[in-house]
Amino acid sequence: MLTGKTAVVTGGSRGIGAAIVRKLASQGANVAVVYAGSQALAEELCAQCAAEFSGKAVAYRCDVADFTAVKDLMAQIKKEFGTVDILVNNAGVTQDGLLAMMKEESFDRVLDVDLKGAFNCIRHCAGMFLRQKHGAIVNVSSVSGMIGNPGQANYSAAKAGLIGLTKAVAKELAPKGITCNAVAPGFIETDMTRDLSGQDNGLLAAIPLGRMGQPQEVAEAVAFLATAPYITGEVLRVDGGIAM
């Protein structure tokens, strides 16, 4: 159980992040739900968690790509909750396009949110984790970062970078009892993949388990890694076998 623990979940307002929030809250954790624009969704989720579970849940608007804003965010969360025990870097965006036509801004924005966003959050929690000599970080990468995806040069680069970041942080912080792991989802049914689901595009045939995944299935893996004291630097695929 996570009673008395505090988790920060970025991108917690929708999709996989919302499932992670519910999963951690169901285990008794207090949760800080970080969102970019979906204030109503984030606040509704917090109200649901407060009604159903024992911990508290508070929504915070923050662009994780903004280093200074994340610094202020973590200070605010620490003030409200006392400390942070679990950090889940889940916020992410896609701006797909063929490499030959990809705009510089599309490359930069996806790297800024999906990779630098995780760095910013880890950077501004690290001091707290080091002082308290514990902390669990889970980064939400993607199979795109493991095997590459055509049309996603920016996203694959960011998600591969996130795996490198995970392993470097894992090695650096392990001596202080802090873990850092990643999950690598395949195709999960959320807003991000809305255009893919329901299409007869050969996608399902490429997934050994023959279906897209559900956000809750990723949340289970995140909760497992967030509470596994002797696992660090791991990348756990939750992908129906597509990147086997």
DSSP H helix total and E strand total for the chain: 9, 7
* Residue 145 contacts ligand NAP per CB under 6 A: no
* Residue 243 contacts ligand NAP per CB under 6 A: no
Closest CA to 92 of 9, 7, 199: 9
Contact between 128 and 49 (Cβ < 8 Å): no
Residues 168 and 171: their CA atoms lie apart, in Å, by 5
* Residue 17 contacts ligand NAP per CB under 6 A: yes
Number of residues that bind ligand NAP (CB under 6 A): 31
* Residue 137 contacts ligand NAP per CB under 6 A: no
- Of residues 152 and 232, the one with the C-beta less far from ligand NAP: 152
Q: Which letter does DSSP use for residue 227 in this model? A: T
Sorted by sequence, the CB contacts under 8 Å of residue 198 that are 6+ apart come out as: none
188 annotated ligand-binding residue: yes
Catalytically annotated residues: 155
* Residue 240 contacts ligand NAP per CB under 6 A: no
* Residue 192 contacts ligand NAP per CB under 6 A: yes
Closest CA to 74 of 83, 223, 31: 83
Among 51, 191, 202, 230, binds ligand NAP (CB under 6 A): 191
* Residue 64 contacts ligand NAP per CB under 6 A: yes
C-beta of 41: minimal distance to ligand NAP in Å? Answer: 6
The pair of three-digit structure tokens given for residue 210, joined into one six-digit string: 């023959």
Contact between 34 and 73 (Cβ < 8 Å): yes
Among 1, 3, 4, 37, binds ligand NAP (CB under 6 A): 37
Q: Which residues sit at the interface with ligand NAP, rule CB under 6 A?
A: 10-11, 13-17, 34-38, 62-65, 90-93, 113-114, 140, 142, 185, 187-188, 190-193
